[in-house]
A and B are shown apart, each in its own frame.
Chain A
Amino acid sequence: MRIRELNLIRYGKFTDRTLLLPFKERDIHLIVGPNEAGKSTVRTALGDWLFGIPMRTPLDFLHPMPDLRIGGVLERRGAGAEPGELLAFERAKGNKNTLRRPDDVPLPDGALQPWLGSLQAQAFNRMYALSHTTLVEGGAGILSASDDIGRMLFQSASGVEHLGAALSKLQSQADGLWAPRKSGSRVYYQALEAYDAAHAEFKRATLRTKDWKAQHDALSATEAQLAQAKAEDVELRQQISRLERIRRVQPLLLVLDAARARRTELLAAGDIPLLEADAAQVFARAMQDMALAQADGARLQRELVELQASLQETVVDQNLLALQADITGLNERRLQYRAHRTDMVKREEEIRLQWVRVQELARGLAWPADSEDAVRQRLPAALLRTRLAALIKGRSALALDLKNAASGLSDRQLQNRQAETDLQELAAGALDPELALAVEQAMNLGDHAKLMAQWHDEIDGLTQEMEDAMAALGSWRRPLQALSAMLVPETAHIQSLIDQHKADAAQEQTYRDALDAKTKEVAQLQLDLQQFVRNFQPVSREQVVQVRRARDDSWQAIKQAPQALLEQAAGFEAQIKQADQLADDRLERAQHEADRQSKSDALERTQFEREGIEHRLATLKGRVAQRSAHWEALATAGGLPALPLELALAWLQSRQEVLELERRRGSAERRRSAQEAAEAQIRGSLWSRLGRASAEAPAPELGECLRQARALITQADQAQGQRKALEQQIREGRRSLGKLQDALNTAQAAWDAWLQSWRVAVQSVGHNADAPVEQVEAELELMQEIERLLERIRTIRSERIETMQADLDGLAATATSLSARVAPDLADQSPEDIALELARRLDLAQKAQAARTDCLARLERSQVEWAQAQQRLDSVHARLAPLMAAAGAKDVTALGPAIQRSDERREVEGKIRSAEQDLSQAADGLPLESVRSESARIGADALKAELDRLVAASHAVVDQIAALSNQYGAQKAAFDALNGTDLAARADAQRQEAIAAMADAAERYLRLQTAARLLKWSIEKFRQTKQGPMLAKASAIFSGLTLGSFARLLVDSEGDAPRLFGIRPSGEPVDVAGMSEGSRDQLYLALRLAALELQVEQGFNMPLIADDLFINFDDRRTAAGLKVLGELSRRMQIVFLTHHDHLVPLAKEVLGADLNVLHL
């Protein structure tokens, strides 16, 4: 699609202006006009014509909004000879039917759909209506891959986008297997660790032959020593055993011989019958039993005689025993009544004393006291006495009530009168309300002096802080006004610049470090190479060639001059030899030469890498310088001092602090002034209300004014309070007077009633009515005591004295009766004596009875025991009878010596048997005679010495055996541990497993690393040769626009996001930020044109409106730009707007006759 003509009917400054854009082979149109001529209006008009005039437009300054109108003709050219297609239409301003035919007939809204497709106004303005601004914005958008074109740009040939990921994976896998740095996470090093561990275990477990043999020999030697020591030990033990036997049997032989001699001696006097072994014991026990039985019989005989005599002497009084209970009871009653007679005397005396007291009291009452009955009859009735006592008791309370009521009434009357007097005396006064108001205002003002001090401190503090903050601005300090007037760039922007700066600084340091490292590496490699050459002197191919060439030259010379052969032969031979020698050397030192070449290559490669780093460092420095310049311009424009960028944010922060402190100080000062004004006003008001204002006496401090005003107010308040209290007191006093008068009347009535009752009662006991109360009360008390005493006398007489007399009478009757029955001789004695004597006589009778009973029992028992003693004697004789028969004894006395002889014979024979038995055991089984002869060969002393010697020797041998046994045990255990264990074999197997794992890891690493290296290399080559279609086009256009300053464009996909680089013809990459502004514009234009070309290729063709795009192009690049546009205009329409007249001849020169130039 192209625009054939544009009619600015009523639009902006234009009225009925037509721009004709006829088609030529190169469809490019240059619209030239000075500023304000309407170039931008033309660009806007094209968009508005195609897509509608927007609701709001600034282009209604000449024609009213509803009248705006644009027209024109669209054209689509036919292919080859085919006819084209035209569409003429106009665009009106409005909400609907804005699309019209030239004859103003509305067209349907979709009429342009076949021409514009889905293109919207926004996309048209972004892609096809370009100003310098939209070009730059669009270019940046493309580079950030934020739109389709951007994505298209970074899309290389299909599949390449996966290469980075594949490479990363390869490298990551390789790194997981091996890397120069040891790490437990890497497979190879894990295996290496296992290898080392297995190797260590292998060495530990391996048993060397010589070690085994050494242990074997040592064990054998110890075994032999041990056997020898054991043999020696056996020998010694045998000798010791023999001597021990001799020592054992010598005393036994002596004992045996002595016993045999004694037996012979005993039997010499004849045979001695052998009695039972216990015969002596049996005999002794029998003799002892017999003696005991005989002694018991004699003692019992004596006891029987004595008991019978005693029985005959004992007499018992049976009459007394029969009255035993009565006599005992009589004696007990005697003891019980023993104190009665003295007690009766005491009671009589007590009665007498009571009666004397009664008589005294009766006399006090003037009563006759002749007898108890006479006195008793004079006592008044108890009821009357009680009545009188009650009246006396109530009298005091009634009298007190009456007195209290009277005094209460008079006190209250006095108080009332006093209060009324006080009230009248209290001065009346009133408070000025204005004064109170002034005081309240002063209070609201607060502590003025303190506040003023605080404000002062705060302002001083802020001033000081501000001074500090100003100082923090350093040498870039400026006056406050200047600081305030500065136009500060956005912090984010500065931060961004600083971040970039820091990143570049870090990068620079990295480059420098890398450069240092590379420089050192180069030096090291050079040194290595020199040393290598010096040490090995490898022969290079060039040397060989050179020598051979000299040799061949000589040969040629000889061939050309055969006559000189003899002269040159020696030299030629030497040359042959030298060449051969060198060739041989080179052959021999081929490895050295290869090594030298390898080192030389490494040096060259390192030098190349170092140059690369230097180049990158230089680029980085350029970028830093550029950014510094940008910052300086920014600072100058904002009126900022020439700050280093790194300090800018901190400085601006300090500046902001200064300004903030200034603002706070101003605010504080304003508030302080307001406080001062308010204080002066309130102070004056107070002083005048206190009535003290005068020209001579100015108002004192606010505090003093306030103090005086407060004192005045306090005084008035106190007087008012007192008055109120007195008035209240008077009111209450008046109310209570009535109550007090009622109470007085009640008390008086009660008193009168009592008086009446008293008189009646007094008269009833015989007094006159006026008898004094105290007298009546005293007489009543006397009567009460007399009545008590009379009652006491009566009680003693009836309850004590009469009872005791009855007891004594009964005792006498019983005593008399008993004495008449058993002791008439006592009839004339007192009852107490009779009772006493009868008791004594009863006791004697009871004792005689007990003695007789005991004597009878003892007699019977002794008779039984005497019979038993006789039986025991018979038994003893029976037991001795068999012994006597065996011993041939006729009586008991002969039996003792016979038993003694028998026992002696038995003892001797026992000793002989025992000695023979001991000898048998001690002789170790040898016959008695051989033992006797062996024993006879050595004396006791010699035996002891020999035995000691042998024991000592045996101990030494035993110690030796123990030591050797220990040694042998340890050696044997150690040797037995060498049992053919498979530990070393297992360790070696594990080592082989680790080796296999290491080899496997190494192989896999090398495969992966090779593949990674190959892929990386391929990617680089691929990038060089295979680019995406858009990148390829943009590359070509960019190279043309920059006149070959850049060879091509390259996308680096390795980072997080793909980045675009311009590649110099030298191969140096330059990123977009590193390009000049002109180059950057050219890059953006190249990207845009490439995108348009792609769209054209895809069949979508729209005109391009370019508004002064070459503002940063120099003339040569402008020409190049026009040329590029000219080429593009063969495939799409281009309308180029410019205000540069000088562009016209240049454009005509570049584009020739095809260029259509229009002037506005």
Chain B
Amino acid sequence: MVGFARRCRSRALPGRRASLSRTVTGTLAVLTAAALISGCDPVGAAGGSDAGTGSTGPSTDPSRTTACTRFFGDADYHEAPAWRVLEGAAVIAGTAGAGPSDGSPATAVASEVETAFADAPEDTREAAGAVATWLRTAPAPGEHADLDAFAGTWQGLAESCTPDSTAATWTAGHGQQGAKPAALVCAETFTAPSTLSVFADRDQVVPHLTAIAGASPQAVPVSAATEVAEASDLLTAQSVAVDDPAVAAALREVRTPFQDALQGDLDSPGLHDPLTELGAACTAAGYDVPDPLAGTDTDPSDGGTA
């Protein structure tokens, strides 16, 4: 994987850290390893960017380019077959009893993946086949389905479609910071399922954000501390990745109540106006968002849950 060694390198403890106690240092060694194992997967996609890690050279196979761009929805991202697959994976992972069986939606999207790449080169067909296999055979449907394993197959397909598809390139973690197409960022925010985000379900990101910070003013639930931090991260990652300053600025406005909550201020003014701004910025950038608050509960009497 491009850049893997660089991202996962470890440095020796500098001299000024010698004051750390032996116990803490030993603990650090173990925890550093754990953190690096957890954290040194490829970065990019909806929640991060892999700044400085260039993608591979241009594809040499037009059939791969055609299959990959069509599947990942390049370059307008309004209708990406990839999202139906992500939704199918979310259904398997999130709904007990919705697992693979002949005729199930998961089986249908598995077939869709294979069909989409039927004319692609063998390595890409195999990567797509791995995704389809997970969809058909995820061993324990429902809450025990291994979404991390799915993410691994998805990553493999994205790698195989890099650099043919821009969306795949970002999914694989090879996008250049500040160069992510606004349409892709907007699609990931308003349209794509949250399967591989921190929220890990079939809903879009926006309803999750309003569930935490409200569309109208509300208190951010104290119990949502983890979601608040990770929503802030997600919005930060998108704002530094996107190539459109107006979309970046609007994303930062959406992020404000999450960052305020991290600082201890749980009074959210609501996301109605920031999301409306973001929708307008996306529309101006070429990704039409007719209703930025679609799918959210805009009733101010609802205190919101997270």
A associates with B: no
